[in-house]
Amino acid sequence: MSPLLFTGLLALAFPAPSFAANPDKVEFKKEGKVVRTFSVDRLRAITREQALKVFEPHERRNRVYRVLPARAVFAEVFGRDWEKAHEIVFTAIDGYQPSVPVKKFLHHDGYFGFANEDREPFTLTNKLQNNEVVPLGPLYLVWNNIDSKELLEAGASDMPYQIKTIELKMKGAFPNMIPPSGSSEQVQRGFEHFRRHCAACHTINGDGGGKAPELNYPESIVEYIKPEYLKRWILAPQTIRYNTMMPGLGEEISNREQVAAEIIAYLKTMSGSKRAPSENPADISR
Ligand code: HEC
C-alpha cells in the first residue's frame, strides 16, 4: 500500500477530533428549573465582548481569550436577583461540576471565554491532567487573575471549561457533603478545602461533580487506602499511579501539607456520616 493511501485510510479510521462538535448551547437554571437556553452567539449579542489576557494555570503561561463579562451575562439572564443568590453551580460536558460562591463574582472579575484571540482552535493542553488536549467550548470561566495573588493561588479550581449548564442556587448546594454540626475547626477547614479543591470532580454521599469516583459511600477511601498513601495521593497522585487523570493539589497553595491533612480529617469525619446517593433528594446533577 502506498504511504499516501495508508495515511488516507488512517485519516478515515481516526478522523481528527472535531472541536466544533461541542454543542454551542448553554442552559441557564435557577433552583433546578431551566429559565433560558442561549447559544454563544446570542450571548455575544446581548453583552459586550472583549479580549482578556489571563494567566492560564492549565498551561502555566499567559493567554488571550475573547470573553464576555460574567456579571453582565448573569444580569441579562437572571435579572439583578442573581446577586442575592448563594452560589453558582457550573456543569461541564465531562461531568466536572464546581460551585462558585456568588461573592467571588462580586469581588473579582470573572469572564466567559468563547474563543482564542488569535483565532487558533479554542482548546488547551491540560498540564494538570496528563497533558490532555481539551476543547474549551461552549463557555470557559476565566478570571482577571494576572494582578491578583488570591486568584493566582486558587489556580485552576474555579475555572471550568466546556460549560453547558449554569445554575443559580439561592441556598448552599450539596447538603450531603456538609460535616455534622459540632465538628472540629480542623474538620470545618478541611470541608472548605474539599469544596474548593476536590468537589468539582468527586462526590461525597452523591453530592458534587460526576467526573471522578465517589469517595465516601459505600466504603470511604479512609477505610481502604492506607493513611500515608492517601496524603501522597492528594499531593502527588502521579507518584502512585503513572497515568492518572487526577491533578495533584495545586502547587501554588503555600501550606499544601496542612491543607491535605485537614482534607483527610474531613474525610474521616464523613466516613462516620454515610448516606446512600439514591436517598439524596437534593441531587442536582440529573
Ligand atoms: C480534575 C478532577 C479531579 C480533582 C480536582 C480531584 N480528583 Fe481525585 N480523582 C480524579 C480521578 C479522575 C480519579 C480516578 C483515578 C485515576 O484516574 O487514576 C481520582 C481518584 C481519587 C482517589 C482514589 C479513589 C480510589 O478509590 O482509588 C482519591 C482518594 C482522590 N481522588 C481524592 C481526591 C481529593 C482528596 C481531591 C482534592 C484534594 C481530589 N481527589 C481532586 C479526579 C480528580
If you measure from the C-alpha of residue 246 to the centroid of ligand 1, how many angstroms do you get, rounded to a whole number? Answer: 5
If you measure from the C-alpha of residue 259 to the centroid of ligand 1, how many angstroms do you get, rounded to a whole number? Answer: 16
Task: With CA atoms as reference, report the closest residue to 193 among 140, 143, 267, 126.
Answer: 267
Banded pLDDT at 254 (limits 50, 70, 90): confident
If you measure from the C-alpha of residue 117 to the centroid of ligand 1, how many angstroms do you get, rounded to a whole number? Answer: 33
User: Is the distance from the beta carbon of residue 195 to the nearest atom of ligand 1 less than 6 Å?
Assistant: no
User: Is the distance from the beta carbon of residue 253 to the nearest atom of ligand 1 less than 6 Å?
Assistant: no
176: cell is 450531603
105: cell is 463574582
Residue 66 clears pLDDT 90, i.e. is over it: yes
Nearest 5°: the CA angle 158, 60, 121 is 80
Asked if the bond preceding 138 is cis, omega within 30° of 0, the reply is: yes
If you measure from the C-alpha of residue 201 to the centroid of ligand 1, how many angstroms do you get, rounded to a whole number? Answer: 7
User: Is the distance from the beta carbon of residue 202 to the nearest atom of ligand 1 less than 6 Å?
Assistant: yes
Task: With CA atoms as reference, report the closest residue to 250 among 187, 186, 133, 157.
Answer: 157
Alpha-carbon distance of 33 to 159, in angstroms, equals: 24
User: Is the distance from the beta carbon of residue 246 to the nearest atom of ligand 1 less than 6 Å?
Assistant: yes
152: cell is 493566582
Q: How far is CA 89 from CA 60, 86, 98, 241, 272, in A?
A: 25, 10, 6, 30, 27
Each residue's pLDDT tens digit, 15-57? 434 444 578 899 999 998 999 999 999 999 999 999 999 999 9
By the 8 A CB rule, do 204 and 213 touch? no
Residue nearest to atom 6 of ligand 1 (CA): 198
If you measure from the C-alpha of residue 153 to the centroid of ligand 1, how many angstroms do you get, rounded to a whole number? Answer: 20
Alpha-carbon distance of 139 to 149, in angstroms, equals: 24
If you measure from the C-alpha of residue 84 to the centroid of ligand 1, how many angstroms do you get, rounded to a whole number? Answer: 33
Lookup result for grid cell 487573575: 145
Banded pLDDT at 283 (limits 50, 70, 90): very low
The predicted pLDDT at position 223 comes to 97
The predicted pLDDT at position 21 comes to 57
By the 8 A CB rule, do 260 and 185 touch? no
User: Is the distance from the beta carbon of residue 60 to the nearest atom of ligand 1 less than 6 Å?
Assistant: no
How many Å separate Cα 169 from the centre of its chain?
16
Percent of the chain with pLDDT over 90: 77
The predicted pLDDT at position 3 comes to 45
Lookup result for grid cell 451575562: 73
Banded pLDDT at 171 (limits 50, 70, 90): confident
Q: What is the mean pLDDT of the chain?
A: 89
Each residue's pLDDT tens digit, 113-157? 999 999 899 999 999 888 889 999 999 999 999 999 999 988 898
By the 8 A CB rule, do 177 and 204 touch? yes
By the 8 A CB rule, do 52 and 189 touch? no
